[in-house]
Structure formats: C-alpha cells, structure tokens
Structure 1
Amino acid sequence: MKKNKSILTMFIALVILITGCNDEFLTREPEGQFGQPSLQTPEGVRSLLIGAYAMIDGSGLDGTADWNVTVENWAFNLASDDALKGTDAGDQPEQSFIEAYDFQAFNGHINNRWRSLFKGVARTNDVITSANAIEGLGDAEKAQIIAEARFLRGIFHMEARKMWRMPPYIGDDVFDINDVNSTLVPNDREIWPLIEADFEAAIAVLPDTQSDVGRPTSWAAKAFLAKSKMYQGWNEDGSANTAKLQEAKPLLEDILNNGPFSLVADFEDNFLVATRNNSESIFEIQYAVSSAADQASSRGMGLAHPYTDPWGCCGFYQVSQNLVNAYQTEDGLPLLDTFDANDVSPDTNADGTSVVTTTLDPRLDHTVGRPGILYKGFKIYQTDFVRDLSYAGPFFSKKHVAEPEGFGIGGWGNLTANNYRYMRLGMVILWLAEVEVEIGSLERARELVNLIRERASNPDSWVPRTIQGSDRNDFTVVDGEAAANYEISQYSTPWTDQATARKAVRFETRLEFAMEGHRFWDLVRWGIAAETLNAYIASESQHRQYMAGKSFTKGKHEYFPIPTQAIDRSFKEGVPTLTQDPAY
C-alpha cells in the first residue's frame, strides 16, 4: 500500500535518539521533565517537534503498554455506557476497575496516561525553549515551529484536564532542561484559560493549509479552541455556562461556514483506510501499514480487535447492549426515552442472518459488529469474534478496525493504517447545535442535527446484505439489499421545547460518535454522568452479571485520581508539589 506522507512515520529513528534506554521508573526525574539534552541545531529542533507529535499517541514512552496511553482513550471510555472491557474476566484487571468506577491512584493505566501526557508537555516545552535559543532558524519557521508546539501543548493539557479535576499546567516559562525541579509546578489553579491561550497563539500563526499531512492548520486550532470552550460550557450541576458557549459559537460558525470542510456522503468514510484525510477531516492522527521498518501504526488499539482470524487478539473493547439498543428507531427517529426498554437481539437464523426485524439507524452496523452482519469486508460477524461470550456478550467495536486492504500484520499487535479522526466537521456541527439549544435557537439546532441525519440516511452507504458460504471466510454480497431494516429520517416537526431539543442533540452525539473515545467525557461535561451511568448499570447488569452492585458516585467519579507515583515524585524541599483531588 502507498503510504501517506506523515510526520509520525519519521518518529522511529528519533525515539531511539531521544529516549535511548532511559527507565523512568528507576529515576527520580519528575513527570513533565524531558530528561535528555536538547538537539541545539535547526534540524535538531525540527526533530524534537516530530517527537512531540509522536506523544499524541504515547509512542516512545518507555515502561508502559501502548493501550494505556493511546489518543483514542478507549481504556478510559470503558467507564461510559457505550463500552465493555470485553475479553475475559482475568485479562487486564486494571481495566475492570475502571469499568466498575473503582478508580485508584495506583492504577497503572491512570499513571501511564499521566506520564504520557506530561512527557508530551515536556517535549513541546523543549521545542519552544530550543527554538528560541538557537540561531539558524528563520523568523517565519521559528514562529511556525513554536505555533505547532503550542497547539500540541494545548492538546496534552486538554486531555489531562479531561482526566483530572485539577492537573498542573507546565509552560515553557518554567521549563529548564538543566533543572530537574523546573517542572515541579503545583496544581493549584484552573488551567482552562492557559489551554485556550495555547490554541489562540496557534491560530494567530498557523496557515489555513499544510503541505504535510498531519500538521495542524489554523482551522484545527480553532476547532480545538472551540472544544475547550464547549468543555467549560456546563457547570457541575448540569446548568449551562452560556458565556462560554457564546464564546464557542463564532469559532464553530466560522469553521462550518468558511472552512474548507464538508460532510462526506458516506458515514463509513470516516472510518476507512481508503478514505483518510477526507473533506470532513479537520485533524487526524496519521498511521501507516506496519512492517519491520515502519512502526508508525495504531499500536494502542492493538488489543481492541476481534479474537478471531485474521487478527487473533485480543477481544478488548466490546459494545454494551445499551448502546446497541440506542440505534432502534420508530418512524425513522430515535427512541429518546424508551430506547432501552427492548433489546436488539444478537440471535441469528439458521442461515446465519440476524433475526432482528425492527427498524434500526444504519449507523449501528458501521459502529458495532453484530451477528449476521458483514464486518469491515472481512467476513460475516458471528459470536466467534468474541473471546468469552458469557462474560462480555456478543457485540464488538468496529470503527477503528481497518478494512482488508488496510490491514497490516496479524498477531497481537494488529497494527493498521486506519487513522484516528481526532477532529472532524460532524463534531463542529453538533457542538454548534448544543450551543443553539442553550441560547434558545431551537430551530437552528434542529437544522444542524438534520444535516447529520441526512448524511446517515444515504442508502448507498448502508451495510449490504450478505449470504454465508460453506467456508467461514466465504460470503456473497446481495446487490441492492441492505443488511437490516434500516429506517432513519430527519426531525420534521419544529422543536419548541428546550429540554426535548437538548435530549435530541445529545442522543445524536452518542449515535454519531459512539466508540470513538468521547462518550464518558461528554456525560461529564454535560453534568449528567451520575444519573446516566447509574441507570446504565442497572440495565446492563441484567446482561453482564459482573456489573451488579457497581455504582457511579456523583462529585467523585467524573475525574480520576492523580497517580500516587506523580505525587511521590513531586516533592520539593520535603513537601509534595502536587495535591490529590479531595474526592480521593
């Protein structure tokens, strides 16, 4: 396969140069400290920037597993109502604790996510301080390098702020590569304004287009700035912070009305290798087909593949019955209040086809692997895709898996060329719909939601009906027939009730972005995590017995505890610089 020109594919040689054999677990080096001499030449600074990009996906972080730190955040999205840990009960018990809201400060997944984000922060600061210190960079290139580094620094801190109630912000003003104490910054302030400042600085310098795929544009910086404001758009009690939403609105409108983006006609094009970097994409994490010489691949998603051939590992990141049920429709519209009253059956007929005859949103079968439905062009999905049917049920995740043409190697790594669509136009549209609801423009919100639903209604994009052959890998596609009784329509009746409109927009957000690593944090930012997730536990535990007795505690489980290791390593003059979240 022809590889995209990607900044991540240049990372392997650099990680050897920068990280060497350093073992962070055996040193007192504080988190956020880069720990190796900077490369004080123009080419060295450019290489340092590439290394900072690589930390978006946690690449090159020694002493950890890739799935702890991947940008898709799937191991932490297990705390949502979309996903189950999957595999079997004994595999990766730390994920079982996350799924059960037993968040512990010594959990390795939580610790490693902290390490990866603040390693990324350190690299961006090293880029900025080095670019300012050396000679040989032209003014324009220096400004561009610093703007890209600030964009990345904003992302790292944003991801940290999503995870923790009060993480520190570490800027280049306190960063000194020669002073191990320079990054011991207290977590005693709200960091959202500093995150916004990084994105604003990036907007002022970054170009509208980039020649290198994977580098951010001013449009990407605007989108992430808008996202930071959307995450501040609700108070913890669920009431709207309309001032922040009003700040987000012009950014979102500018991207939608003036940006070079458009919704692709086929919903699935957002999840195929063949359609990476399409017209809907604002910022993608670039991956390439794996080979012995090229490991710039989605390693962090390696465990989250079906247990059957051709993947062979490992069965993590299965799908809840609750999410599958959410795709049921009546007269083409979602069942906002009653979707979970009846289950979408996983059973199949004698010929292997699904028994389900109720009407369904067609996005279901681009999001979820379910029995009797073609799975990414590999084979018809059956329950042999899952590792332990009695433990985590019959459904599996699908969006991140590459189609056959984009599949790299077999084995546990399952490295693929399927990019992660970190920011796409659909997000901008539904964020704008959220804003319009809260400021009272309900009809504009309905129009925006209908843009998303109109795209999903394109029959050319629906999964086709297939007939199983005599061999498990053999199937025939039936031309002109859909795999299920798909029915989806637009909201034709004017919206006059704000509460109903709000519910419709949030429900659409779940349907559109399910299993992409956003759901848990959407529930948190809306202030509805406790009520939603406790209702989910009551329902899902009827199918997954291991969930019985679990609960989500309001005011605590919206955020994770600061890792014990980070606090222990933050001591300065006998006093820890970092303080634990009072909820823990």
Structure 2
Amino acid sequence: MKKVKIFLTAATVAIVLLSACSEAFNTREPLGQFGQPSLQTPDGVDGLLLGAYAMIDGSGVDGTPDWNVTVENWAFNLASDDALKGTDAGDQPEQTFIETYDYQPFNGHITNRWRSLFKGVARTNDVIDAANAVEEIPDEKRNQIIAEATFLRGLFHMEARKMWRNPPYIDDEVYDVSDIESTKVPNDREIWPLIEADFEAAAAALPASQSQVGRPTSWAAKAFLAKAKMYQGWNEDGSANTTKLQEAKVILDDILNNGGFSLVPNFADNFLVGTRNNSESIFEIQYAVSSSADQASARGMGLAHPYTDPWGCCGFYQVSQNLVNAYRTENGLPLLDNFDDADVPETVDETTTLSTYMDPLDPRLDHTVGRPGILYKDFKIYQTDFVRDLSYAGPWFSKKHVAEMEGFGIGGWGNLTANNYRYMRLDMIILWLAEAEVELGNLERARELVNLIRARAANPESFVPKATQGTDRNDFTIVEGEAAANYEISLYNDPWTDPATARKAVRFETRLEFAMEGHRYWDLVRWGVAAEVLNAYIASESQHRTYLQGKSFAKGKHEYFPIPIQAIDRSVKDGQATLTQDPAY
C-alpha cells in the first residue's frame, strides 16, 4: 500500500471527527497539512480510526439529516412490505417517494446516503495511509488498525452495493487525500469481489476477540464475508447461485460451530439496553444516551419514535397491516400462503383497554410492533395516540429500536437512546445457513436450523406479559403468569421434502425474526422476488392505506436506487463524468 502525506486541520480527535466540505461525495478535500505532532503518533492515527467508525451511522456529514444516513436504513426499508412512512402525509415527502417507488436521482435521502457511505470509504483510506506513514506505530498495532479500517471499508462498500447496482469501489491504492481527482473513478465493474477481498483480509488479520466492544473481530469479518456471498446467492431471475451459497455455507458452519456464540434465551434481549453485547452479538453498533441531542448516539432513529409522551416526536416508521398479519399462526405454524387473507384486528376493549385479540399469534409480534392494549416496552400500555395520524398510516408502530426506561434519553427530543443496533448476530447466521442448505438440497438440516430459531421464540418466559391499566395513563400492573395475547408457536415437526415449501418457510421465518430491523427490502431484492412480493403487498395494503393505490414496483428497475445526479456531476474528470447512471434510470 502506498504511503502518502496526510492532510488534516488540527491535532485533536474532535476535529478529526468533523465532517468534510458538504460538496464532497467520494472524499473530503485536503483541509490542512498533516504536520501536527499529536497526529503523527499512534494516538493520532487511532483518532482517525474513530472518525471512520463514526461514519457507520453516518455521523459527521455536514448538513445531512441523520435519518437519511443511519445504519438501520429505516428510511429505505419503507420500500419493503414491512414498513410505512407514518406520521402524516405532508411530513418528509421524500420518504413518501421512496415508499411509493418514485426513485429520483435528486432525492435528498438517496443523495445523502451516498455522501455518508463514500465519506466513510474516504476515512478508512485515510486511516490505512496514515497507519503506513507513521513509523512509530508497532507493526502489530499497525496491522490491527489497517485490518479494522479494511473491515469498515468493506462494510461501507457493501452498503453502497445494496443501494446501487453499480457503485464505484475506491481503495487506498488510488485514493490520495491531497488530490480530489483520485477519487473520481469509474463505476464500470462489479465490486462484490472487492468487498469480499476486504472482508477476507480483515478476517485474516483481526483477533478472535477484542477487549473493546464495538470493534470487529475475525468472526465479525467472516460473518460479513458470508453476508456478501449470500447477497450473491441468487441471480436476478431468482435462481440460486449454488457456488456462492456453498462458499457461504462453509463460513457460516464455521461461525456456528466454532465462533463461541449462542442464542440468548429471550428474543427481546436483542432489543434491550440492559442486554447489549450479549452472547448472540457478533458486531454491534454502540450507542449512548446523552443530555444533548447534538451529542447523543442513535440520532438517526430520532424520528422513528411514538408521537405521544414521553417521546413527543415524531411518529415515523410505522408498521404495515401486512406485516402484522404475517404473525398469525395455525397450529403454531405460520400461514405461509394465506397469512394476509384476514387482518389482525385493531379493536380494544374500552373498559379495560386490554386487547381483545383472540386469534393465535407468533409471540415475536409484540416484541416488534406496538399494538393497542399491549404493554409497550416498560413505558405504558399502547394506545392509538402513539401515532400521529391514525387515518393516514393506521394504528401499528415500530418497537424494537426503542429503548426501555434504562436507556431512555433525556433532554433534546427525549427519544434518543442507548439501545445498540445489533448489526450482525447469531440468528442471522443460522437463517442464512438454512437458506443455503435448502438450495444445496439439505432440507432436513434447514428444518433443524429454523427450529432453533422457533424454539427460542416459543420460550414462554420471553412472552410480552399481560398488563392492566391503572387510573393514571402511566400506571399499569403486570398480571403475573399471563401473556398479553394468545401466543401460539410450534416447531416444524414434519420432515421437509419439498424444496419450494422449505424455501418459503425459511424466508418467512427470516421476515418474522428480523422485521423492522432494516433488512427486509434487500432480502426481497437478493432473492429476486421483490416485484412479485411487493406488487402483491401494494394490492393488499392499499385497501388500508389509500395513498398506495395505483403504485407499483417495476421489475428490473426498483431493485436499486439511482445514482445521485450531484455525484455524477461532481465526478467530472478531464471534461467527462466518470460515474454513469444505472441504465434502468
């Protein structure tokens, strides 16, 4: 890797973490010569690395709303069948365009996501160049820094490749912070192999464990390498790429058998502040509560909180009726083919405010969705005033990302939290492995893996408890030994013999397990079924949400977003743009 002179403005980590010129897309322009003594040290390079980590959640991009760039990707998951924009019709119209498949290259959300990801790429290349340039860094430490930066570079490029069909790849060999022209590279090649190479290099150099939470291990790098292969596991026509799936299977088996991770017994422990960094976590984004909205972490999820007190803002990221219906069960199993034939009702007994839902339901529903009459985390019994406009987006609200009282933010909006984002965890590994096993003909192994997930969900100790309303809105009493609803979930006890049914069961399980975590849209795309599933969803959901009527998902186009027009305009080199637009746009 080449050594270059590094340019920065100041000798403090705080300045390192500041964002670059808002005009930059793929890099930041040089801001001052790397001549400050405190940056020519291992500590100074560590500061640069912290700046790269900050970009995982899009922090530090001037003038960019946090919800455009957050790692949870919730504003883009609005294009899935899980989520609705929520709030009211006039708020954040650019999100409505995403929700209704009106993707435009000037959409600010799309533009800012590009900016943040390639800002992250630039910072990782800064780190690698700096680590090579500062001779005082011991070789072992240098290798560790470079490995972490390489992991992050793979991560940023992976997120870009999920968003866009043909993003560029920029590494430290071409990147030169003193020359903005160095980042104007063409987007004329498939970058998945380069993403894999970054994760492979990181896996080979990173330790199996880290003393500081939030830093990647070799197991995390392997997990993201497997994810990259799973994203290549299906062709655009939905047929399996068994070569990539077999490659992924080898890695996934290794993580499951040798990584030392284990499923936590309570499904909800993956969404609580009090159980962060647990035995299931492989790579977790670390958040903290602050009294200042400008300093708190998880700012990107700030809008996605209930409209009522104690949050008070803002009512975005509501839940579709379609997703709620997916949690209906029959004999404890999902209704794979007809889950959306009937609606889970919205009715609530007015005298007790207890839900009258009697149909059997998967217990993960009430860890995922706020429903009238059901306890919402440990705050209060959910009522329909949690949403901003009931007639616009219905009664259901997202729940997983909201912290319980232990991690509830103070000051600012009051809805900023210390609820970490579990970016990579063991249940993902298990269900990816089940996907691969189905396509490789190992149906019974796939059934065993899915049953591991379902057995955990069936643990009655993890069920949301029944609660009765007191005289005060914030007062409730837990009814010991009683569940909030009629939870009924069982294992797949009959052998799987039909690949199509097994495939459907694994994919359905994936939706139930990870709903509203920012993955669903890209799962549908990588499986090659987005158009089929989302157009069926629109036909159904538009009966409840009239603004979806007449909308459609165009196969071959809407699987990816357009490259921002500003990025193309600013990629001009020698009189010609180096970036070319996705031909679908």
- Give the TM interval when normalised to the shorter protein: over 0.9
Distance 1:192 1:552, change over 3 A: same
- The within-5 A match list for 1:371-390 is 371-390=372-391
AA matched with 1:36: L
Equivalent-residue separation in structure 2 for 1:293 and 1:567 (angstroms): 33
- The within-5 A match list for 1:35-114 is 35-37=30-32, 38=34, 39-114=39-114
Larger mean Cα displacement after TM superposition, 290-299 or 244-253: 290-299
Q: Give the CA deviation at 1:410.
A: 5.0
Task: Indicate yes or no: 2:161 matched with 1:166.
Answer: no
Q: Give the CA deviation at 1:354.
A: 1.2
Contact 2:223 2:251 in 1 (8 A): yes
1:17 to 15, 18, 31: 15
Q: Secondary structure at the match of 2:151?
A: helix
Q: Give the CA deviation at 1:470.
A: 1.3
Q: Give the CA deviation at 1:294.
A: 8.6
Q: Give the CA deviation at 1:297.
A: 1.2
Aligned residue pairs: how many? 569
Show the counterpart of 1:393: 394
Q: Give the CA deviation at 1:412.
A: 3.0
Equivalent-residue separation in structure 2 for 1:294 and 1:533 (angstroms): 37
AA matched with 1:387: R
Show the counterpart of 2:123: 123
Show the counterpart of 2:319: 319
- The within-5 A match list for 1:226-375 is 226-292=226-292, 295-350=295-350, 351-375=352-376
Deviations 1:188-216 (A, max 9, x none): 00000000000000011100110011000
Equivalent-residue separation in structure 1 for 2:12 and 2:75 (angstroms): 27
Deviations 1:470-528 (A, max 9, x none): 11111111000000000000000000000000000000000000000000000000000
Q: Give the CA deviation at 1:36.
A: 3.2
How many percent of aligned residue pairs carry the same amino acid? 78
2:27 to 16, 26, 32: 32
Equivalent-residue separation in structure 2 for 1:391 and 1:301 (angstroms): 21
Equivalent-residue separation in structure 1 for 2:98 and 2:411 (angstroms): 28
Equivalent-residue separation in structure 2 for 1:432 and 1:516 (angstroms): 19
Distance 1:91 1:413, change over 3 A: farther
Show the counterpart of 1:487: 488
Q: Give the CA deviation at 1:40.
A: 3.5
Distance 1:239 1:577, change over 3 A: same
Equivalent-residue separation in structure 1 for 2:400 and 2:54 (angstroms): 22
Larger mean Cα displacement after TM superposition, 559-568 or 37-46: 37-46
Show the counterpart of 2:221: 221
Equivalent-residue separation in structure 2 for 1:573 and 1:174 (angstroms): 17
Q: Give the CA deviation at 1:23.
A: 3.9
Distance 1:62 1:329, change over 3 A: same
Equivalent-residue separation in structure 1 for 2:223 and 2:130 (angstroms): 28
Q: Secondary structure at the match of 2:360?
A: coil
Q: Give the CA deviation at 1:15.
A: 6.8
Contact 1:42 1:135 in 2 (8 A): no
Distance 1:411 1:541, change over 3 A: farther
Contact 2:13 2:48 in 1 (8 A): no
Show the counterpart of 1:142: 142
Q: Secondary structure at the match of 1:209?
A: coil
TM-score norm. by structure 2 comes to: 0.96
Contact 1:131 1:146 in 2 (8 A): yes
Contact 2:293 2:299 in 1 (8 A): no
Contact 2:535 2:552 in 1 (8 A): yes
Contact 1:34 1:122 in 2 (8 A): no
Distance 1:576 1:413, change over 3 A: farther
Contact 1:303 1:412 in 2 (8 A): no
Contact 1:14 1:51 in 2 (8 A): no
Q: Secondary structure at the match of 1:340?
A: helix
TM-score norm. by structure 1 comes to: 0.96
Contact 1:312 1:411 in 2 (8 A): no
Q: Give the CA deviation at 1:296.
A: 4.4
Task: Indicate yes or no: 2:458 matched with 1:463.
Answer: no
Q: Give the CA deviation at 1:464.
A: 0.4
Equivalent-residue separation in structure 2 for 1:174 and 1:442 (angstroms): 46
AA matched with 1:559: Y
Q: Give the CA deviation at 1:295.
A: 2.3
Equivalent-residue separation in structure 2 for 1:224 and 1:61 (angstroms): 25
Contact 1:332 1:487 in 2 (8 A): yes
Gaps of 5+ in 2: 1-10
Equivalent-residue separation in structure 2 for 1:294 and 1:89 (angstroms): 27
Show the counterpart of 1:5: none
Equivalent-residue separation in structure 2 for 1:36 and 1:296 (angstroms): 26
AA matched with 1:62: D
Equivalent-residue separation in structure 1 for 2:287 and 2:25 (angstroms): 30
Show the counterpart of 1:205: 205
Show the counterpart of 2:6: none
Q: Secondary structure at the match of 1:32?
A: coil
Q: Give the CA deviation at 1:291.
A: 2.4
Equivalent-residue separation in structure 1 for 2:344 and 2:18 (angstroms): 51
Q: Give the CA deviation at 1:121.
A: 0.1
Equivalent-residue separation in structure 2 for 1:433 and 1:14 (angstroms): 47
Contact 1:311 1:410 in 2 (8 A): no
